[in-house]
Amino acid sequence: MELGVAIIILCFSAVFAAFMLLVFGLIYAEFSNSEIPLGVAQPGKLRLIHGLLVGIAVLGRIFQNMGLCTQMGFTRWVSNTLLPTSKVPPQLLIKDLTFAEVPVRVYQPKAPSSGHRRGLLYFHGGGWMLGSIDTYDDLCRYIAKESATVVVSVGYRLSPEHRYPAQLDDCLAATSHFLEVAEADYGVDPRKVAVGGDSAGGNLSAALCHRFVENDLPLPCAQILIYPVLQMADFNLPSYQQNQYVPLLYRTRMGFYYLHYLNGDTSLLEDMLDGRHVPVELELKYRKWLGPDNLAPEFKTRGFTPRAVTAHDEEVYDIMKDALEPSVSPLLTSDTVLCKMPPTFILTCEFDVLRDDGILFKKRLEDLGVPVTWWHVQDGFHGIVSFFDKGWLTYPSGKLALDHIVSFVKTL
């Protein structure tokens, strides 16, 4: 009997050891592809955060292969379940509601206001696949409390279950509903309602403003774009080359998110990264907006090799042509529409593949006379604002960046 128990324990230990070796092996393989350049804030802390995220993804992949759940489902569950819960600030009234059948969370300051309040529709990041109202709860609380603004966090549908334009449709529906009830239900002046978001949420904010202009609807009073994704035409900009292996967003991962948002055909990833989805005539047209000459010299000093214009693949273009529409790539919006954009706040990070998207969008807006407020986090990486208040994982430059966003909101 004792021998049998010993054998079972030995077998279990061997299986567990093999399992852990597999997990750590996969994490190490991912780590070996990462690169944290000199100048990144607190690099050791970033490696730890990256390791935790990679570990979650690896476990999700193993559980998916075992038939227990999907990798995406596990990642979402961990993100939402392991969040530390904090007490509702006494200054805020927080309610979970639905606006036009879209889940939202409303953060409403309790203190009386001498006049109408400001409003902000916030669209979370996460590559259109991850993120939720819960994962952005602390950030939205902070903005609402510190700026005395009614903040509406929008729980739009996610890919791969829902493809473009479901996410944008949800953001439009929630925003339109809030504009209708803002004054009567929340004491918010509809003329002082802004839209904003980070990463994919920044994309949705800019695309939403494009829709408002195209449909001749009253525009939000401002858009707040936090390291936004703004174009799917060129994945060889200087920031994509310099930061392609910098956590928390790799170049290939950005392409992966974009393809899942668009159509789910990840077999096109290499074609897209190499630019074979863009016809030569369009590539030459976009160069006036995306060309490296539009960037200041300091953004090319860490290395940049211009890519020669090459022939495209017509079949790839046919499958991916929606990627070049302004509602997917707001940076490719025509001048006649872009000049009507509202005042804009743009935040960029030096060590982020999306850095140049934001900087190029800033230049286009400024050239067309649109007021732009820009904050560049010199030691920042993609996602740093989310670590504005995470205990020992807090980044002071993330907190400073968020305070600049709050300051901008107060001016609306």
Active site residues: 199, 352, 382
Q: How far apart are alpha carbons 182 and 193 in whole angstroms?
A: 9
Does the structure show a pLDDT above 60 at 15? no
Question: In whole angstroms, how far apart are CA 264 and each of 159, 188, 256, 278, 317?
Answer: 9, 39, 9, 18, 15
Q: pLDDT tens for residues 131-167? A: 999 999 999 999 999 999 999 999 999 999 999 999 9
State residue 336's pLDDT score. 97
pTM: predicted TM-score of the whole model, two decimal places: 0.93
Tokens found for residue 183: 């004054």
State residue 10's pLDDT score. 45
State residue 17's pLDDT score. 42
Cβ(247)–Cβ(49) under 8 Å? Answer: yes
The more confidently predicted of residues 36 and 1 is 36
State residue 156's pLDDT score. 98
Chain centroid to CA 215: 25
Half-sphere exposure of 151 (CA within 13 A, CB side): 31
State residue 22's pLDDT score. 46
Average pLDDT for 375-387:
98
Q: How far apart are alpha carbons 84 and 205 in whole angstroms?
A: 28
Does the structure show a pLDDT above 60 at 225? yes
The more confidently predicted of residues 114 and 258 is 258
Measured from the Cβ of residue 155, the count of other Cβ atoms closer than 10 Å reads 21
Residues 6+ apart with CB under 8 A from 66: none
Average pLDDT for 341-349:
98
Q: How far apart are alpha carbons 37 and 13 in whole angstroms?
A: 39
Average pLDDT for 161-177:
98
Does the structure show a pLDDT above 90 at 283? yes
Q: What angle do CA 322, 327, 332 make, to 5 degrees?
A: 85
State residue 130's pLDDT score. 97
Question: In whole angstroms, how far apart are CA 265 and each of 259, 271, 333, 367?
Answer: 6, 11, 25, 36
Does the structure show a pLDDT above 90 at 16? no
Buried b (16+ CB within 10 A) or exposed e, 364-396: bbeeeebebbbbbbebbbbbbbbbbbeeeeebe
Q: What angle do CA 122, 128, 134 make, to 5 degrees?
A: 50
Residues 6+ apart with CB under 8 A from 264: 159, 160, 163
Does the structure show a pLDDT above 70 at 399? yes
Measured from the Cβ of residue 323, the count of other Cβ atoms closer than 10 Å reads 23
What end-to-end distance do the CA atoms of the chain give, in Å? 76
